[in-house]
Amino acid sequence: MIRPTSNDDKTRTGISVKRITAWRRRPWAGYAVVLAALAAIAGLYAGFSPKTDRAEAAGTADAQADLANGRQLFNQNCASCHGLNAEGTKDAKGKPIAPSLLGVGAASVDFQVSTGRMPAMNPGAQMPRKRPIPVFDTEIKTDYSEPEKREAAEKQKAQAEKNIHDLSGYIAQLGGGPSIPTADQVDPTKGDVALGGKLFRTNCAQCHNFTGQGGALTGGKYAPELSKSDVTPTQMYEAMLTGPQAMPVFNDSTLTPKDKQAVIAYLVQTREEPNAGGNGLGRIGPVSEGLVGWLVGVGLMVAAAMWITAKKPKKLKKLKNS
């Protein structure tokens, strides 16, 4: 039997090519690769468990809004779509481009701008939550160790908060509408969590899922996740109050401020609650459980079966042969 022999088949890493090849040729190598890949996917998947960072309480300034600043910000960032007088615009065929902002209220402006949905960049099925543009960026990082950097960042954040406040004040002054809730109104520790759970499951979970993981709507729209810590209690309140985009409105007389606070308490406590049973698997219910059952459960059992029934251990035979 002629066999090509070469003593020089080591790679630069010092691993024998022969050995790699031998491993690759093992009957189980294919399965091992597939299993490893599946395990990696499962790991990634499981990684999407909710983060339970503390929600930062939104500071709501009670100070009088600087309407001039608000107007200027409106003209710079909003007027191109919503019109110079916030009356909304339509395209040549009369199809609305942007709605009128008269009467939407400060709560709506605060919600849209602080979640980064407005100013919108390119209209799609739905405006996604994104990092607000710099002048409105209240999510800016401030925990620098250098005092100068921190100070600058804090200053920028305060300015962004003031900007949103001014802009909201300006729009509210144009046509009235619901105002921004106070910090006390949205304090999740003061809500009745049991009532909140009931209200959430009856009125919110059908779109946002029972733990606020979000869900699909028609036409590519979706109910956003509420389980991330960047969704502040103020934003939750404003969303219920104003019904942004496809979301229905829950005004203060159908769901009273106390009811809203209860819903907020439920949401915040749920997302801060650790998963009693281990990894939450995304908290989306049986779909991810089935996936894990098949990939991890059946996967590990098949791996065990292959090991138990595998051919003789190599070492033993070598020793025997020698």
Q: Within 234-263, which residues bind other proteins (CB under 8 A)?
A: 243, 245-251, 253-256, 259
Q: Per rule CB under 8 A, is residue 175 in the interface with other proteins?
A: no
Q: Based on the shown chain and the rule CB under 8 A, indicate whether residue 315 belongs to the binding site for other proteins.
A: yes
Decide if residue 314 touches other proteins (CB under 8 A). yes
Interface with other proteins, residue 94, by CB under 8 A? no
Q: Is there binding between residue 218 and other proteins (CB under 8 A)?
A: yes
Q: Which uninterrupted H or E stretch holds 215?
A: strand 215-216
In the chain, how long is the greatest CA-to-CA distance?
A: 94
Task: Kindly state the smallest distance separating residue 200's Cβ from other proteins, in Å.
Answer: 8
Between the CA of residue 163 and those of 103, 104, 232, what are the distances in Å?
A: 20, 18, 18
Answer yes or no: are the C-beta atoms of 59 and 65 closer than 8 Å.
Answer: no
From the CB of 137, what's the least distance to other proteins, in Å?
25
Determine the interface stretch with other proteins among 56-64, 155-163, 179-187, 220-228 (rule: CB under 8 A). 220-228
> Of 37, 211, 232, 260, which lies in the binding site for other proteins, with binding defined by CB under 8 A?
211
From 181, 189, 237, select the one nearest 60 (Cα to Cα).
181
The β-bridge relationship of strands 215-216 and 222-223 is: antiparallel
CB of 52 to other proteins, least distance (A): 11
**Which parts of 278-297 interact with other proteins (CB under 8 A)?**
278-281, 283-287, 289-290, 292-294, 296-297
CB of 314 to other proteins, least distance (A): 5
Q: How far is the CB of 165 from other proteins (least distance, A)?
A: 24
Q: Which is nearer to other proteins, 92 or 319 (CB)?
A: 319
Q: What are phi and psi of 143, to 5 degrees?
A: -90, 50
Residue 12 interacting with other proteins (CB under 8 A): no
Which tokens go with 247?
Answer: 């979301």
**Three-class DSSP category at 73:** helix
Measured CA to CA, the distance from residue 56 to residue 141 in angstroms comes to 13
Q: Contact between 232 and other proteins (CB under 8 A)?
A: no
| Of 6-14, 81-89, 167-175, 219-227: span binding other proteins (CB under 8 A) | 219-227
Does residue 97 sit in helix, strand or coil?
strand
Cα gap 25→37, rounded to integer Å: 18
The only residue of 217, 229, 230, 257 in contact with other proteins, by rule CB under 8 A: 217
Nearer residue to other proteins within complex by CB, 58 or 267: 267
Strands 222-223 vs 96-98: parallel, antiparallel or unpaired: unpaired
In this structure, are residues 56 and 50 in contact, taking their beta carbons and an 8 Å threshold? no
Give the contact letters, 27-46, x = binds to other proteins (CB under 8 A), - = no. x------------------x
16 counts as binding other proteins under rule CB under 8 A: no
198, 240 contact by CB (below 8 A): no
**318 binds other proteins, rule: CB under 8 A:** yes
Cβ distance to other proteins smaller for residue 59 or 175 = 175
CB of 181 to other proteins, least distance (A): 16
Sole binder of other proteins in the list 72, 203, 230, 257 (CB under 8 A): 203
Distance of alpha carbon 250 from alpha carbon 54, whole angstroms: 26
Residue 243, SS3 per DSSP = coil
Given a contact cutoff of 8 angstroms between Cβ atoms, the answer to whether 61 and 167 are in contact is: no
By CB under 8 A, residue 80 contacts other proteins: no
